Structure 1
Amino acid sequence: MTEVTFAQLEPMPDDWQRALAVVAHPDDIEYGCAAAIATWTDAGREVGYVLATRGEAGIDTLEPAEAGPIREREQRASAAVVGVSTVEFLDHQDGVIEYGTALRRDITAAIRRHRPELVVTLNHRETWGETFWNAPDHVAVGRAVLDAAGDAGNRWIFPELTEQGLEPWNGVRWVAVAGSSMPTHAVDATVGRERAVRSRLEHRTYLESLTDEDPEAYVRSFLPGDARQSGKRFGNRPAVTFELFPR
């Protein structure tokens, strides 16, 4: 029986200075992507986070009004572990984010504020690995990020943003989608993976709602393993993979 082989992944571009990660919920970035962000900030690059929601509907035992502030605090602490100090929330409603012009406008405004060269988001397709159904929030935000990267440079789309002082930004060179089943590029996670684990552990309240297992054992059971599996297509080095869309 012939063994199935996959094309090797290319290194992510490194000729940039500013990145912006835009996702739906607290902890979305920490599912594997944080190791890449730690690597980038160690190299002196600037990375900011924008989250569409505060994850207020994510803990069954806590009312949203109580869960939202907790998850915001945990996200800020998590970001700090990997060298990120700028964390913004767009205050869309957790669980029922709608793809459309309102979401595109908010993300366009964030891109114009931060003026990144690289924008990072999470899997925008309907499934994970063609097996598990993806959350509608992830689909809506990921798709809106891909669209907003272009909207940000067009002064005639959302002209009210220009009137508010947010000048068009046509400097986005790539959108990188983490968690894609069709990755094209990767970042070596050797240095950043331990901080990625610690970053994920800052979401302790949420983790304790997910599992009765010890949170650290739970996190370590899949994050390093995912990096090793991805590394088979990246010179057998632990890797964070991305599907890269040039602009």
Structure 2
Amino acid sequence: MSSASAESGSSGSSAASEPAAPTVLPALPEEGIERVLCVVAHPDDMEYGASAAVRAWTEAGVEVTYLLLTRGEAGMAEDPAIVAPLRAREQHRACEIVGVRDLRILEHPDGMLEATLALRRDIARAVRQVRPDLVLTANFDLEAYGSLNQADHRAAGISAADGTRDAANPWVFRELREQEGLEPWSARALLVLGHPEPTHAKAVSAGHVQAAVASLSAHEAYLQHVTDHPAPEEFIPEILRAGGTAAGCDHAVTVRAHDLGGLGD
């Protein structure tokens, strides 16, 4: 081996022995963000950590809208006619805690949500009505959160992605423009919560963490129904601390951001 090769080999060995510097998630670009639309399947879906970011946004004057695609009526043992209004009341309380004043609940069937054209149209309609800068939804991979992802979550997420892009296309769902007067609207980005490979993070304060805990606690009847569900204060701060570790801060909500043409750096 030549001396040059030896030096190269020695240098490479030394570099290889040094631990790689941890990758810190960049902050979510938010300059000029005025409106956020959150599209999820059920009441309580926004309360597993994401509501900390919502509280941070509303405190900063950002208008946040929740669009729930079902009423969550199949999520408890009682008759759906009793459960649906109960879960709506609990969701309203959760929204009050984090400053959400615009809660919209559709009536697609809980437990049987399908990624249909009708669902895409409903989401595109909401995007055109709200005109959000950011659309947020939850992980819609087949596998998520350590198990198979729930069917409604998968349908909701893929439909949110498709419906958000449909909203920007004047030639898709023409009736929204021609019959309802809703002009096309292009969101800056689609944000996916709970993704195993996040691209950005939103730092949140200890107060925002507590608001997230309180917002999940507002779903009192639902949490009592779920067997062995941990207390919100036992795991929500842990989730947000893990996000903070990835982002180089105390607490954060992490997302995988899909730039739709206006996210910026």
TM-score range, shorter chain: over 0.9
State the alpha-carbon separation in 2 of the partners of residues 209 and 181 from structure 1.
28
Equivalent residue, structure 2, for 1:230: 243
Contact 1:34 1:196 survives alignment (8 Å): yes
Runs of 4+ in 1 over 3 A off after TM superposition: 1-6
Partner of 1:23: 40
1:163 to 1:82, Cα distance in 2 relative to 1, 3 A:
same
Q: Does 1:106 align with 2:94?
A: no
CA distance in 1, matches of 2:50, 2:19: 29
**Cα distance in 1 for residues equivalent to 2:122 and 2:151:** 18
| 8 A Cα contact 1:118 1:173, kept in partner | yes
Equivalent residue runs for 1:25-64 within 5 Å = 25-60=42-77, 62-64=78-80
Paired letter, 2:238 = G
**Unpaired runs of at least 5, structure 2:** 1-16, 261-265
Once residues 136 and 148 of structure 1 are traced to their aligned partners in structure 2, the CA distance between those partners, rounded to angstroms, is: 18
Task: State the distance in 2 between where 1:237 and 1:80 align.
Answer: 25
1:151-191 deviation digits (Å, cap 9, x = unpaired) = 00112111111123242333300111111111111111223
Question: Distance in 1 between the 2:224 and 2:18 partners?
Answer: 43
Q: Matches of residues 1-247 of structure 1 in structure 2 within 5 Å?
A: 7-15=23-31, 16-60=33-77, 62-129=78-145, 131-190=146-205, 191-211=207-227, 218-247=231-260
Larger radius of gyration: 2
Look up the SS of the partner of 1:99 in the other structure.
coil
2:246 is paired with a residue whose SS is coil
Q: Which amino acid aligns with 1:27?
A: D
Matched residue SS, 1:192: helix
Report which of the two has the higher share of helix: 2
Secondary structure of the structure 2 residue equivalent to 1:195:
helix
Evaluate the alpha carbon distance shift between residue 209 and residue 86 of structure 1 in structure 2; reply closer, same or farther with a 3 A threshold: same
Q: Tell me whether 233-242 or 111-120 shows the greater mean CA deviation.
A: 233-242
Hey, what does 2:12 align to over in structure 1? Answer: none
Task: With the length of structure 1 as denominator, give the TM-score of the two structures.
Answer: 0.93
Q: 3-state DSSP class of the match of 2:103?
A: strand
Alpha-carbon spacing, 1:2–1:220, altered in 2? closer, same or farther (3 Å): farther
Q: How many residues align?
A: 242
Name the amino acid aligned to 2:116.
G
Shift of 1:3: 7.0
Question: Secondary structure at 2:127's aligned position in 1?
Answer: helix
Matched residue SS, 2:172 = coil
- Conservation of the 8 A alpha-carbon contact between 2:199 and 2:255: yes
User: Are the counterparts in 2 of residues 109 and 166 from structure 1 also a CA contact under 8 Å?
Assistant: no
Q: Percent identity, aligned pairs only?
A: 40
Distance, in Å, in 1 between the alignment partners of 2:55 and 2:166 is 28
Counterparts of 1:172 and 1:21, CA distance in 2:
12
Amino acid at match of 2:102: T
Cα offset, 1:5, TM superposition:
6.9
**Is the CA contact (8 Å cut-off) linking 1:113 and 1:166 kept in structure 2?**
no
Q: Which amino acid aligns with 1:193?
A: V
TM-score by length of 2: 0.87
CA distance in 1, matches of 2:69, 2:196: 23
- Measured on the aligned residues, the alpha-carbon RMSD in Å equals 1.8
Q: Structure 2 vs 1, CA of residues 166 and 12 (structure 1 numbering), >3 Å: closer, same or farther?
A: farther
Mark the runs of 5 or more structure 1 residues left unpaired by the alignment.
none
Question: Which secondary structure state, in structure 1, belongs to the residue aligned with residue 108 of structure 2?
Answer: coil
| Contact kept in structure 2, 1:185 and 1:243, CA below 8 Å | yes
